[in-house]
């Protein structure tokens, strides 16, 4: 006995629902028996009064409500599990934002860079106040622009301080984001063959301090870590640093979702900066692969409006999550309410409990 969309821990209790039709038949038998008893009265007025009472629809409401309450209790006893939307447990979000020179492109008005700043600030406004947010800025290197905090003003100031640089190290951005989420896990870029890259000094360690000892990590299912997530926005291909697929595997092994947002044109655009020019192209294939590997989603933003909408979707998705949850308590509460309503109506209309 199955109900679509609902699983039961103790499904054998569902067979007790077959008692409900038996109770309905018993109730109908009682009504018929009462009608026969009424016919035995000699007074015609009494017979008419009894018949009128039998025809009243209100007579059937309390028993019907009690029958529904009994059904809800029997279903609750089977311990149903349903996928419902609940407030998310994620308490930390890392925004990994691309500040490479290609963000000067004007295919998103007024520029990709300015549109990204405005959308990121809007995103901060829509997040629940109890969610901490950290910011990692990346170009040819990646560094923490703001450690996770509840102070939205500090985050806005960090976004306003961005300065564009050359190169795009998407893999570094993911690794630095993970190191920010797990500051005591010993995650360092030096362990991945990228030591010496500017701006990639591990968090919480001075320049003269020896590297932390790498800690063994037992992989967990992708997307299973619900206390933090990474949102990476970029407009170009990786040109230096860690392979983003290697970095995404590190995130997946720790259960951290990496949502990716692609900005700009897929075909590419030629831009100039300080006397040099280059063609930048959005690497959607890699961004989709990173999101998929970490059990997250990829979003494309081809305009400033699209970018704002993407951040609104992300805010909604991160603030809530669909989760399989036991709903026995809700059904038990429903059964109790129906029972109280049934008894109250019976007393109000007939001065007795059914």
- Is the CB of residue 339 less than 8 Å from the CB of residue 66? yes
Residue 68 within a domain = yes
280, 165: one domain: yes
48, 77: one domain: yes
The set of residues, in sequence order, having a beta carbon less than 8 Å from that of 310 and lying 6+ positions away, is 119, 261, 299, 300, 301
**Cα 25 to Cα 9: distance, rounded to the nearest angstrom:** 30
- Is the CB of residue 193 less than 8 Å from the CB of residue 175? no
108, 76: one domain: no
Per-residue confidence of the chain (354 residues) as pLDDT tens digits?
Answer: 455 567 888 888 788 888 888 888 887 777 777 766 666 555 555 555 555 554 477 777 888 888 888 888 888 888 888 776 655 566 899 999 999 888 888 878 888 899 999 999 999 988 888 889 999 999 999 999 999 999 999 999 999 999 988 889 999 999 999 999 999 888 887 666 544 344 454 444 444 445 555 567 789 999 999 889 999 999 878 889 999 999 999 999 999 999 999 987 666 566 655 555 666 678 899 999 999 999 999 999 888 888 888 888 887 777 656 666 778 888 889 889 988 888 888 778 777 776
Helix and strand tally (H, E) in the chain?
10, 11
**Domain boundaries, position 18:** 6-84+326-350
pLDDT of residue 158: 96
Residue 95 within a domain = yes
- Is the CB of residue 172 less than 8 Å from the CB of residue 241? yes
pLDDT of residue 203: 41
Residue 34 within a domain = yes
pLDDT of residue 58: 75
Sheet holding 298-301, edge to edge: 142-149, 132-138, 92-98, 228-234, 257-263, 298-301
Please compute, for residue 62, the number of CA atoms within 13 A of its CA located in the half-sphere on the CB side: 17
Residue 192 within a domain = yes
74, 104: one domain: no
- Is the CB of residue 117 less than 8 Å from the CB of residue 162? yes
43, 104: one domain: no
Residue 237 within a domain = yes
pLDDT of residue 48: 54
- Is the CB of residue 203 less than 8 Å from the CB of residue 144? yes
**Cα 29 to Cα 62: distance, rounded to the nearest angstrom:** 17
57, 168: one domain: no
120, 225: one domain: yes
Give the total residue count for the chain: 354
Residue 320 within a domain = no
26, 108: one domain: no
**Cα 138 to Cα 176: distance, rounded to the nearest angstrom:** 10
80, 130: one domain: no
Listed in order, strand segments (DSSP E) in the chain are: 6-8, 80-87, 92-98, 132-138, 142-149, 228-234, 257-263, 269-273, 276-280, 298-301, 320-326
- What is the Cα gyration radius of the chain? 32
Residue 253 within a domain = yes
For 294, the 3-state DSSP assignment is coil
CATH of the domain at 227: 3.40.50.410
158, 280: one domain: yes
pLDDT of residue 197: 42
pLDDT of residue 72: 87
139, 230: one domain: yes
- Tally of structural domains, the chain: 2
Residue 269 pairs in a beta bridge with 280
Quote the DSSP letter at residue 165.
Answer: B
Nearest to 190 by CA among 139, 238, 241: 241
112, 144: one domain: yes
pLDDT of residue 138: 96
**Cα 186 to Cα 214: distance, rounded to the nearest angstrom:** 5
Residue 241 within a domain = yes
């Amino acid at each position: 006995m199955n109900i679509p969309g609902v699983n039961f821990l103790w499904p054998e209790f569902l067979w007790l629902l077959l008692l409900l039709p038996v109770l309905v038949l018993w109730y109908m038998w009682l009504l018929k028996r009462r009608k026969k008893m009424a016919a035995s009265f000699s007074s015609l007025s009494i017979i008419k009064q009894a018949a009128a009472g039998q025809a009243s629809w209100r007579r059937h409401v309390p028993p019907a409500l009690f029958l529904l309450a009994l059904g809800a209790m029997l279903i609750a006893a089977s311990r149903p599990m349903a996928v419902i939307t609940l407030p998310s447990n994620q308490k930390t979000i890392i925004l990994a934002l691309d500040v490479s020179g290609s963000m000067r492109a004007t295919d998103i008005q007024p520029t990709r860079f300015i549109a990204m700043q405005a959308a990121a600030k809007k995103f901060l406004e829509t997040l629940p106040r109890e969610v901490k947010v950290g910011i990692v800025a990346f170009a040819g290197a990646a560094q923490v622009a703001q450690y996770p905090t509840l102070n939205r003003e500090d985050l806005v100031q960090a976004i306003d301080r961005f300065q564009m640089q050359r190169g795009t190290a998407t893999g570094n951005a993911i690794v630095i984001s993970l190191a920010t989420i797990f500051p005591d896990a010993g995650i360092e870029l030096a362990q991945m063959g990228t030591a010496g890259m500017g701006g990639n000094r591990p968090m919480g360690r001075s320049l003269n301090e020896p590297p932390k000892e790498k800690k063994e990590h037992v992989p967990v299912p992708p997307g299973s870590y619900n206390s933090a997530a990474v949102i990476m926005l970029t407009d170009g291909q990786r040109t230096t640093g860690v392979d983003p697929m290697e970095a995404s595997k590190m995130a997946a092994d720790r259960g951290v979702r990496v949502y990716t947002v692609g900005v700009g044109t897929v075909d590419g655009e030629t831009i100039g900066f300080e006397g040099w020019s280059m063609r930048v192209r959005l690497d959607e294939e890699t961004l989709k692969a990173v999101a998929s590997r970490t059990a997250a989603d990829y979003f494309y933003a081809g305009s400033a409006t699209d970018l704002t909408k993407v951040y609104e979707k992300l805010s909604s998705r991160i603030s809530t999550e669909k989760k399989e949850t036991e709903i026995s308590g809700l059904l038990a509460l429903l059964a109790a309410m129906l029972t109280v309503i049934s008894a109250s109506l019976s007393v109000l209309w007939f001065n007795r409990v059914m």
